A and B are shown apart, each in its own frame.
Chain A
C-alpha cells in the first residue's frame, strides 16, 4: 500500500525534527526519559492531527512546551526528579579517567545549575536559539514581539554567563 502525502511529510519531519526536539527537551528539563516521552508524544499528536502545520517546527515546540508544562504540574515524582537534576544520575556514557571525570562532572553540574537559575523564558530563548531558531520563530513559539527578541536573547545570554561565573 502506498503511503499518503501526509505520511511522507510526517516521516520526513520526524527524521529531521525528532533529534533536535529531544535534545532541546533534555537540555530544558535535565531528564532524558521525560524528554523522550514528550518528544514522542508531540509527534503522536502531530500524526493524529492528520495534516502538517504551516510552520511544523514552531508547532512541534509549542506542543512540546505545553506537554512539558502539564507534566511538571501533574507529576510530583517528575518534579522531584527535575529538581534533583544531578548529571551523575543521567549520564550513561562510559566513565572517563578519574580526574577527567571529576572535572567533567563539575562543569556539567555548573552548566546545569546555571540553566536552572534562568527564568523559564530565558532558558527557552537560549536553548531554542542554540537549536537554530530564528528571531521570528522564537517570537512565534514564545509569544513575543519579534522586535524584542534580540534584546531578550541578549539578556538571557548575559544571565547564563553570569550564572556560570558565579558558580564556585
Chain B
C-alpha cells in the first residue's frame, strides 16, 4: 500500500476514526517507520500548540451552580410578573373599548371629546398641497406638487445642456415636477414653478393635468412646450410612454412650426 494521505495521518494523530479504510491505514502505519514518524511529529506539534495556548490562560472567575440556578429561576419569575402585567393591560384596554361602545357612557363621551379636539387641531393647519402657491418657496432636489390653475408656467432658470425634461399630460388635478439625478432648487411662483437646475444630467418629470387650459415650459427663456386647450406644441419628441421628451439644451420653439401631430 502507498503511504496514507496527510489528512489520514492527521486524523490518526487526532485519534479520529477513518471509517472503512481505517484497518488498511493502520496496517500500513504499523509497518511504516516514516508514517509513524509523521504521526509522532504531528502529535508533538499539537502539544506545542497546547503549551502555547495555555500561556494565555489565567485564573478565571468561578461561578456557583446554585447561583446560576437562582438566576435562571429569578428570570423565570420576572417573566411571570411581566406576563401578568401585560395581561392586565390587555384586559383594561378591552374593557375600556367595551365601555366606550355603550352609547351615553362617560368613556364614550371622553373619547368623542378627544377626537373632536383632534379634528379641530387639524382644521387649523393648512394643507401644504392644497394651498395656493403664493409665496416663493424652495424645495431642494426632490420636486414639487401643486394644484393646477387655468394657467401653468414651468420655468427652468438655469439648466445643464445634458439633462432633459419629460412632460406627460395626465388625468390628475395636481401639477407635479420631480427630478432624478443632478441637483435642483424649486421655487413656487404665482402660476407655477421656477426650477434652478444645477446638475448636469438631471431628468425632470413634469406631470401636467389635462384640465390645464394654458401651460408653458421655458428653458433659459426659450419656450419649448406649450399647451393651449388640447393643442400641444413642443420641440421635444413623443416617446413610447406618452411623454414629450425635451432636452434641456433644446432650442426655441419655432413660431411657424406645425406640431398638430402632437395634438391631444
Q: Which residues of B contact A33 (CB under 8 A)?
A: 61
Contact A39 B58 (CB under 8 A): no
Q: Which residues of A contact B50 (CB under 8 A)?
A: 130
Bound together, the chains give a CA A90 to CA B10 distance in angstroms of 34
Instruction: Give the tally of cross-chain contacts (CB within 8 A).
Output: 94
Q: Which residues of B contact A44 (CB under 8 A)?
A: 68, 71-72, 75
Q: Which residues of A contact B57 (CB under 8 A)?
A: 23, 26-27
A55-63, A66-74, A157-165: which lies at the interface: A157-165
Interface 0/1 of B6-49, CB less than 8 Å to A: 11001100101000000000000000000000000000011001
Bound together, the chains give a CA A158 to CA B71 distance in angstroms of 42
Bound together, the chains give a CA A44 to CA B7 distance in angstroms of 39
Contact A47 B72 (CB under 8 A): yes
Contact B11 A150 (CB under 8 A): yes
Known: A111-B52, A111-B53. A26 touches B63 (CB 8 A): no
- Chief secondary structure at chain B's binding surface: helix
Q: Does A143 sit within 8 A of B, measured CB to CB?
A: no
Q: Does B122 sit within 8 A of A, measured CB to CB?
A: no
Q: Which of A97-130 contact B (CB under 8 A)?
A: 104, 107-108, 111-112, 115, 126-127, 129-130
Task: Using C-beta atoms within 8 Å of the partner chain, give the interface range for chain B.
Answer: 20 to 34
Contact B14 A135 (CB under 8 A): yes
Contact A26 B58 (CB under 8 A): yes
Task: Using C-beta atoms within 8 Å of the partner chain, give the interface range for chain A.
Answer: 35 or more
Q: How far is the CB of A37 from chain B (nearest CB, A)?
A: 9
Q: Which residues of B contact A111 (CB under 8 A)?
A: 52-53, 55-56
Q: How far is the CB of A104 from chain B (nearest CB, A)?
A: 7
Q: Which of B48-104 contact A (CB under 8 A)?
A: 49-50, 52-53, 55-61, 63, 65, 68-69, 71-73, 75-76
Bound together, the chains give a CA A164 to CA B65 distance in angstroms of 38
Residues of A within 8 A of B (CB): 7, 10-11, 14-15, 18, 22-23, 26-27, 30, 32-33, 35-36, 39-40, 43-45, 47-48, 87, 90-93, 104, 107-108, 111-112, 115, 126-127, 129-130, 134-135, 150-151, 153-154, 157, 160-161, 164
Listed by A's residue number, 19 A-B pairs whose Cβ atoms lie within 8 Å are A11-B65, A22-B60, A26-B58, A27-B53, A27-B57, A32-B61, A36-B63, A39-B63, A40-B71, A48-B72, A93-B58, A107-B52, A108-B56, A111-B55, A115-B56, A129-B14, A130-B53, A157-B49, A161-B49
11 extra interface residue pairs, beta carbon distance < 8 Å, beyond A36-B61, A127-B53: A26-B56, A27-B53, A27-B56, A43-B65, A44-B68, A47-B73, A90-B58, A115-B56, A126-B49, A130-B50, A161-B45
Task: Report the 9 A-B pairs with minimum CB-CB distance, sorted nearest first.
Answer: A47-B72, A36-B61, A14-B65, A44-B72, A150-B7, A43-B68, A48-B72, A108-B55, A40-B63
